[in-house]
Amino acid sequence: MSLTAALSPDVLAKYQPVIGLEVHVQLLTQTKAFCGCINRYGGEPNTHVCPVCLGLPGALPVLNRQAVEFAVLASKALNLTINEESIFARKNYFYPDSPKGYQISQFDRPLAENGWMDVSDGKGGTRRIGITRLHMEEDAGKSIHDGFADSARSTYIDLNRCGTPLVEIVSEPDLRTPEEAYEYLTKLKEILLYTGVSDCNMEEGSLRCDANVSVMLKGAAEYGTKAEVKNVNSFRFIREAIHFEIERQIEVVESGARVVQESRLYNSAEGRTYSMRSKEAAHDYRYFPEPDLPALFVDNAWMTKILADLPELPEARRARMIADYDLTAQDAATFANTRSFADAFEAAAKTAKSPKRVANLILGELVGRLNAAGLELSQSPVSMQGIVQAADLVEDGKLSSKQLKGLFDIAFEKSEDFAAVYEREKPQQISDTGAIEAMIDEVIAANPKQVEQFKGGKTTVSAFFVGQVMRLSKGQANPALLNELVMKKLNAA
């Protein structure tokens, strides 16, 4: 990455970066936050609108119950304390994409406060990042800038997004590296997807992040002045923008100047941030309680009802999957990263003779083929039931793993039921004890060194003999019988 003029490692090492993130997340409700308009991305401009979200005089907001329920779920999943009573406030500012002249938000009494998320500390442990608050608010519309030559430039306003329910999740300035910030965001997104409150689609703007960055001399009593990087549309770019910002600020301080408190924009093509030099310099939003909405009460009974829908969260699920199905941490993570993937695996694993084999089959045979074909799991030509059939056939010793691969290819290409492919193809299997024993003898005779290792106590070399005989049999030896006979022969050798 090309950043600013190179700073020496010695100089870099003198400074401690400090990072806090503000994340806006659109909620997946049917309708908007305070009116009955459909809450959906896109559409003909200015068609998903009504007097309330257009801010016409006299129109009154009514709070969307589903939006509250989603915000409560997200809060709980992020370990926040939910306030029984919270207050909506007007944040006053003028901008063309917000016709009311204010945004309904929450200010000094937000829905939830004092949460946390753990990130890895890079030494095998974890570090706890504080989450200051989660509050509810509404999105603004969009300005669409058109035309290239200055003379031909026009700006259009699309208010379809106006009034889309949002939560803003604010972290404490507890993050210390761009990598930690990246992990925080990745985990946050995973948790929000699990709870089903948002689709977190960054391209469509359902999840947006502002990164606050400052630097201070290590051991200093106070944080440095922060700059806020806005409008970055991928986690990778946020990580790069923070990298750049840290080095830029260290250069500023090293040169004897001061970091200016300001908003900055990240240009991903150049890998730099630029000052916005904007109106926001000394903003006074003149917050006051929203007179058109009563206080929000989430009493115990409602809370209990909402939280009944809280799913098992990714971290807990990974741990349980390792224990329940004897998966490696890596495999459990692969499944648990996406709730639907984990659900599909678990549903299949419960009906199979060996859940571990189901996992191996999905990760070893299915995922690679799906990726190569550019297909989602939900579009898989081999059903989960087919995976279970295949796993059970292997488990029963009716198929060697080589034969399995061949049949899997056919099932995948023809979108056929795995059991049907097996019945038709019925691959040759050698189950004649004498024939298998003859091959084992041949392999044992050819590999005296490995036999010695086995005798010396390294019993795992039996897998070597099984593999060699399997090859000799062109993958046709009955695997269960082969295993049994190899052990018998080796023990007798």
Measured between alpha carbons, how far is 167 from 208 in angstroms, rounded to an integer?
11
Contact letters (x/-) for ligand ADP, 145-174, by CB under 6 A?
Answer: -------------------------xxxx-
Instruction: Give whichever of 110 and 386 is closer to ligand ADP, judged by the CB atom.
Output: 110
Total residues binding Zn ion (CB under 5 A): 5
Closest by CA to 388, choosing from 332, 339, 345, 327, is 345
Among 26, 106, 212, 403, binds ligand ADP (CB under 6 A): 212
Q: Does 249 bind ligand ADP (CB under 6 A)?
A: no
Among 214, 354, 476, 478, binds ligand ADP (CB under 6 A): 214
The half-sphere exposure of 28 on its side-chain side, counting CA atoms within 13 A, is: 12
Measured between alpha carbons, how far is 156 from 301 in angstroms, rounded to an integer?
46
- Residues 6 or more apart whose CB falls under 8 angstroms from that of 13 comprise 218
Closest by CA to 31, choosing from 106, 105, 189, 138, is 138
Q: Does 258 bind ligand ADP (CB under 6 A)?
A: no
Q: Does 59 bind Zn ion (CB under 5 A)?
A: no
Instruction: Give whichever of 223 and 297 is closer to ligand ADP, judged by the CB atom.
Output: 223
Q: Does 273 bind ligand ADP (CB under 6 A)?
A: no
Binders of ligand ADP among residues 225 to 244 (CB under 6 A) are 226
DSSP bridge pairs for 230: 265
Among 19, 33, 53, 253, binds Zn ion (CB under 5 A): 53
Among Zn ion, ligand ADP, none, residue 50 binds (CB under 5-8 Å by kind): Zn ion
Measured between alpha carbons, how far is 330 from 257 in angstroms, rounded to an integer?
47
Question: Which residue's CB comes closest to ligand ADP?
Answer: 20
Tell me the two tokens of residue 108: 């000094």
Total residues binding ligand ADP (CB under 6 A): 15
For the bound state, the minimum distance from the C-beta of residue 389 to ligand ADP, rounded and expressed in Å, comes to: 51
Among 18, 117, 185, 461, binds ligand ADP (CB under 6 A): 18
Q: Does 20 bind ligand ADP (CB under 6 A)?
A: yes
Binders of ligand ADP among residues 36 to 65 (CB under 6 A) are none
Q: Does 37 bind Zn ion (CB under 5 A)?
A: yes
For helices 462-472 and 479-492, what crossing angle results, to 10°? 130
Give backbone dihedrals phi and psi of 378, rounded to 5 degrees, phi first: -65, -15
Q: 178 burial class (0-12, 13-18, 19+ CB within 10 angstroms)?
A: buried
81-82: strand order across its sheet: 81-82, 112-120, 126-138, 165-171, 15-26, 207-217, 227-232, 263-267, 272-275
Among Zn ion, ligand ADP, none, residue 226 binds (CB under 5-8 Å by kind): ligand ADP
Among ligand ADP, Zn ion, none, residue 37 binds (CB under 5-8 Å by kind): Zn ion
Measured between alpha carbons, how far is 405 from 274 in angstroms, rounded to an integer?
54
Contact 342, 336 (CB under 8 A): yes
Among Zn ion, ligand ADP, none, residue 19 binds (CB under 5-8 Å by kind): ligand ADP
Instruction: Give whichever of 37 and 469 is closer to Zn ion, judged by the CB atom.
Output: 37
Q: Does 114 bind ligand ADP (CB under 6 A)?
A: no
Among ligand ADP, Zn ion, none, residue 439 binds (CB under 5-8 Å by kind): none
- Residues 6 or more apart whose CB falls under 8 angstroms from that of 69 comprise 306, 309
Among ligand ADP, Zn ion, none, residue 173 binds (CB under 5-8 Å by kind): ligand ADP
Instruction: Give whichever of 12 and 54 is closer to ligand ADP, judged by the CB atom.
Output: 12
For the bound state, the minimum distance from the C-beta of residue 192 to ligand ADP, rounded and expressed in Å, comes to: 17
Q: Does 22 bind ligand ADP (CB under 6 A)?
A: yes
Measured between alpha carbons, how far is 38 from 45 in angstroms, rounded to an integer?
13
Closest by CA to 200, choosing from 182, 183, 188, 213, is 188
Catalogue the long-range contacts made by 120-126 (C-beta closer than 8 Å, 24 or more residues apart): 120/183
State the amino acid at position 221 in one-letter form. Answer: A
Burial state string for 469-493 with b = 16 or more CB within 10 A and e = fewer than 16: bbebbebbbbbebbbebbeebbeee
Among ligand ADP, Zn ion, none, residue 172 binds (CB under 5-8 Å by kind): ligand ADP
For the bound state, the minimum distance from the C-beta of residue 458 to ligand ADP, rounded and expressed in Å, comes to: 55
Q: Does 35 bind Zn ion (CB under 5 A)?
A: yes
Contact 134, 74 (CB under 8 A): yes
Contact letters (x/-) for ligand ADP, 167-206, by CB under 6 A?
Answer: ---xxxx---------------------------------
Instruction: Give whichever of 29 and 103 is closer to ligand ADP, judged by the CB atom.
Output: 103
Residues making contact with ligand ADP (CB under 6 A):
18-22, 170-173, 212-214, 223-224, 226
Residues making contact with Zn ion (CB under 5 A):
35, 37, 50, 52-53
